[in-house]
Amino acid sequence: MEPLLSSPLALEGWHEFNRIKWGIRPHRLVLGQAEGDGAKLDAVLYLNRRGRIYQPHHNPYLPVSFRPSPTSFPSRSERRWLTLAEQLADEMRARGMANAVDLPVGIMDGRPWRWAGFSVGAKYTYILDLPYSPERMEKNCRSSMRRAERAGYRCERTDRLADAYVCLMETAARKGFRFDLTLRDLEMARELLGDEHLRVYVCYGPDGTPAAANFVLHRPGGMAVGWLGGVTSAHLSTGAFQLLEVFSMDDLASAGATCYDLAGANIPGVALAKAQFGGRLTPYYFVSPVGLKPLAIWILEWLRPARGQARRRRTCVSAGVRQGDAEGCECGRGPLGVPAHGGSAGAQPSGLD
């Protein structure tokens, strides 16, 4: 088991944002050798009012990292990983789980949770190495970006959250869901995380109006994680989204990010759109309790994107949307404005109780 890259999801500001916004309690666990160079497993479990583990809405993954001890024998690292991960799985089983949780990219062994009686499955995302070259994009995606450049679109990293929020809200209205983060929520996240760790990018149209927005969680020396994104309806087929993604990756590389996680490729249309950027398809695990209620929730979550995808196909056919347009790759995190975890942005799961 390889050590995880430095994650922005492990930042105290991120934990505090979740505590205030969702009314949950971050509980940090350090298993193994906390000091020195011995093996260590570090995790943050979010606890709801009943003390059960809950992955908050708009959270791509649960913060879990493993640092192996120095050894030339991979089997020793694996044994140490299994010992510590089994302790974490036992802790999760003892506390109980209010919903399914996603383990981060880099945790490539889900056996300890399966052995503890959980249901373990796989999801997928795309990882892009930084610095990024547009030559890795598919031709139609690159052409859309160049078209936006010629038309006078410009991108910038900004502190004007209201401009970015316009893109998120218009996307939510177009998609038909209630976006459950307010402008004040985003301002609070920026205050707690700081501009270095929550980087906000906006692409402006030739007339100066916001066309697309991208919110990225960043920690120097590690993997940046796409959090939220949106495109206004007037700019769906202009290449603004593609231009902004490349601009974001250039800035992240300059800030010390080693790679960029597009945070989810589990809906057919979204997966195809993200694939055009040329990233590595990368699996990650989700862990859920076994029982009839989790099964019913899983079925509902599976049917929701399937129905939405069918509607999008009909809409795209009638509207003549081309592959590579922004509608298909709206939010890095699900459809634009939708996070990687938690299903529809319209209804907060009941696991907070």
pTM: 0.84
Binned at pLDDT 50, 70 and 90, residue 136 comes out as very high
Q: What is the mean pLDDT of residues 143-167?
A: 97
Q: What is the 3-state secondary structure (H, E, C) of 161-177?
A: HHHHHHHHHHHHHHHCC
Q: Is residue 243 assigned to a domain?
A: yes
On whether both 134 and 201 belong to a single domain, the answer is: yes
Q: Is residue 48 assigned to a domain?
A: yes
Binned at pLDDT 50, 70 and 90, residue 352 comes out as confident
Q: Which of 90, 117, 144 is the last residue in one of the domains?
A: 117
User: How many angstroms separate the CA atoms of 335 and 328, rounded?
Assistant: 8
Q: Is residue 97 predicted with pLDDT exceeding 80?
A: yes
On whether both 137 and 215 belong to a single domain, the answer is: yes
Q: What is the DSSP letter of 332?
A: B
Q: Is residue 54 assigned to a domain?
A: yes
Number of neighbouring beta carbons within 10 Å of residue 96: 14
Q: Is residue 308 assigned to a domain?
A: no
Q: Is residue 47 assigned to a domain?
A: yes
On whether both 56 and 188 belong to a single domain, the answer is: no
Binned at pLDDT 50, 70 and 90, residue 141 comes out as very high
On whether both 150 and 271 belong to a single domain, the answer is: yes
Number of neighbouring beta carbons within 10 Å of residue 121: 13
On whether both 169 and 269 belong to a single domain, the answer is: yes
On whether both 141 and 270 belong to a single domain, the answer is: yes
Q: Is residue 236 assigned to a domain?
A: yes
Q: Is residue 142 predicted with pLDDT exceeding 70?
A: yes
Q: Which of 59, 92, 117 is the last residue in one of the domains?
A: 117
On whether both 134 and 61 belong to a single domain, the answer is: no
Q: Is residue 302 predicted with pLDDT exceeding 90?
A: no
Binned at pLDDT 50, 70 and 90, residue 46 comes out as very high
On whether both 165 and 277 belong to a single domain, the answer is: yes
Q: Is residue 314 predicted with pLDDT exceeding 80?
A: no
- β-strand pairing of 101-102 with 280-288: antiparallel
On whether both 262 and 224 belong to a single domain, the answer is: yes
- Find, among 293, 58, 248, the residue nearest to 155 by Cα: 248
User: What is the end-to-end Cα distance of the chain in Å, rounded?
Assistant: 35
pLDDT on residue 273? 85
* Assigned token pair, 252: 């992240």
On whether both 32 and 73 belong to a single domain, the answer is: yes
Q: How many CA atoms lie within 13 A of 237 on its CB side?
A: 6
Q: What is the DSSP letter of 327?
A: T
190: domain CATH number is 3.40.630.30
Q: Is residue 351 assigned to a domain?
A: no
On whether both 65 and 162 belong to a single domain, the answer is: no
> Residue 187 belongs to what domain range?
127-281
On whether both 99 and 138 belong to a single domain, the answer is: no
Q: Which of 73, 88, 117 is the last residue in one of the domains?
A: 117
Per the structure, the count of domains in the chain is 2
Q: Is residue 329 assigned to a domain?
A: no
Q: What is the mean pLDDT of residues 278-299?
A: 82
